[in-house]
Amino acid sequence: MIDFLKFVNSDTVRNHLQQIRYQPTALEAAWLTWQCETISLEEKCTAWREIIETLPDCPTGSRTMGLKEKYRDSTHAFLQAYITLQEKLVSAFYQTEEPAVYYAEYQILPKGERFWREYRSIREGFPTLESALQIIPKNEGVIIHITIYKENSNGDFLMAARFLPDYRLAFVDVRPGSMYAVNMDKDQWALYTGVLYRPNPTSISMKKNFSLPFHSGDVLYNPNMPEGMFCGGVFVLAETESHDACGYFLCDDKPDTIAALYPRLLDCEYYPTDALSESYRIFPLISKFLKRNHAALDPWVFAEFINDYHDLLLSLPAEPEDDETDAGKNGPFLSVKVAKVPEGMSPEEFIELMENDEE
């Protein structure tokens, strides 16, 4: 039987789920298979068939308009239809009866880079799929995947497909607005996007079901999301008042200023704090506060506080290596003082309280 947890992209999350022997449902296993970065579409279809044969059926829970009720009620029924649709999409992508032009984009971990992957494009169009794949350079670093965009002779975007570094097909991508998507009937489009497609509410809510090894205050990163992208760069994890997990990210254009966003945690890894650059100097302070106080915060209120008073916080003297807070002594300024703030107190009242305490 397939270990569906091996399809988790993050080494940290995968090891955690395997250690606790997490048992995914049929829907969770199907989604893990769909989003896996390292297996071919043929391997995905094999895994989906094994789910139908070996895992108990369950509803997909999809609320997508137009999706047939039988696909809402049964993951097995959905997967059977989804495999058939994938086979049809593959045939359409490989169709060569009409002239086409192929453009290549690839994701790479550049030589010498420890953490961040990059997307690089080749602007030249190629008359065949094979020539577009073979143009990808092999000496720039580790290739993660290749995306080929197919256009007709008029320059209309038809569809895209993702390939593994060894050129095996990993996924056929019928993106909204593509000619193939425009020509799909409503039932097909609902089947394609209704359960596994990333922005779908079912896909988003499913990610919350998995047990994660991360805790409030951990410094994390998603290798696919470098600085400059939305939810990109290193971030500090925090638990919100609604018990969701958000991340405090550095604003690119404002030093020591943070924004509360919601990252894709299933793909994340720990980021070593000793590798943080000077621009992230506020992060160790935020991390220590969140780890020691275990407080569920309003992320936007906390971000606003940090942004308003980061100069004051960063000017505080360095704390000793040993943690003296448990011994009843004065601990780190941020962790002790913020913990004392009564609910509803304004930032101005908080600063006044701190100044009075110091006196």
- Provide the whole-model pTM: 0.82
Q: Alpha carbon 323 to chain centroid distance?
A: 34
Are 107 and 79 members of one domain? no
- The verdict on 237 and 339 lying in the same domain is yes
Return the pLDDT at 253: 63
The verdict on residue 223 lying in a domain is no
How crowded is residue 239: how many other Cβ atoms within 10 Å of its Cβ? 18
Eight-class DSSP state of 246: E
Rounded to the nearest 5 percent, the helix, strand and coil shares of the chain are 40, 20, 40
Domain that holds residue 47: 4-94+199-206
Assess whether 53 and 106 both reside in one domain.
Answer: no
- For residue 190, being part of any structural domain is answered with no
Report the C-alpha gap between 256 and 311 in whole angstroms.
8
Which contacts qualify for 345-350: CB closer than 8 Å, 24 or more apart? 347/304, 347/305, 347/308, 347/309, 350/305
* 327, HSE (Cβ side, Cα atoms, 13 Å): 7
How far is the C-alpha of 181 from the C-alpha of 192, rounded, in Å?
Answer: 10
The CA distance from 59 to 202, in Å, is 11
Which residue reads 């079912």 in tokens?
202
- The closest alpha carbon to 94, from 140, 47, 41, belongs to 41
- pLDDT at position 295 is 67
Residue 216 lies in a domain: no
Enter the DSSP assignment of 297.
B
Claim to verify: residue 34 and residue 107 sit in the same structural domain: no
In the three-class reduction of DSSP (H, G, I as helix; E, B as strand; rest coil), residue 227 is classed as coil
Edge-to-edge strand ranges of the sheet holding 157-163: 118-126, 100-110, 141-152, 157-163, 169-173
CB contact set of 85 (below 8 Å; sequence gap of 6+):
188, 191, 192
| Whether 66 and 113 share a structural domain | no
pLDDT in tens, the chain (359 residues): 899 999 999 999 999 999 999 999 999 999 999 999 999 999 999 999 999 999 999 999 888 888 999 999 999 999 999 999 999 999 999 998 899 999 999 999 999 999 999 999 998 999 999 999 999 998 999 999 999 999 999 999 999 999 999 999 999 999 888 999 999 999 999 999 989 886 454 554 556 678 899 999 999 999 999 887 777 899 999 987 666 788 999 887 676 788 888 888 999 999 999 999 888 888 998 998 888 877 677 888 888 888 877 777 666 555 555 444 444 444 444 433 333 444 555 545 544 544 454 44
N-term to C-term CA, the chain: 67
Q: What is the pLDDT of residues 37-67, one digit of tens each?
A: 999 999 999 999 999 999 999 999 888 888 9
Tally of structural domains, the chain: 3
Alpha-carbon distance 203 to 200, whole Å? 5
pLDDT for 93 = 96
In a domain, 24, yes or no: yes
Residue 83: count of CB within 10 angstroms of its CB: 17
Would you state the pLDDT for residue 200? 52
Domain boundary among 145, 173, 206: 206
Looking at the fold, whether 235 and 354 belong to one and the same domain comes out as yes
Q: How far apart are CA 234 and CA 280, in angstroms?
A: 8
- Residue 236 covered by a domain: yes
Give the span between the Cα atoms of 219 and 59, in whole angstroms.
35
Task: For residues 124 and 265, give the distance between their C-alpha atoms in angstroms, rounded to a whole number.
Answer: 35
Same domain, 131 and 31: no
- Mean pLDDT for the chain? 84
Distance CA 244, CA 38 (A): 29
Q: Is residue 81 part of a domain?
A: yes
73 with 163, same domain?
no
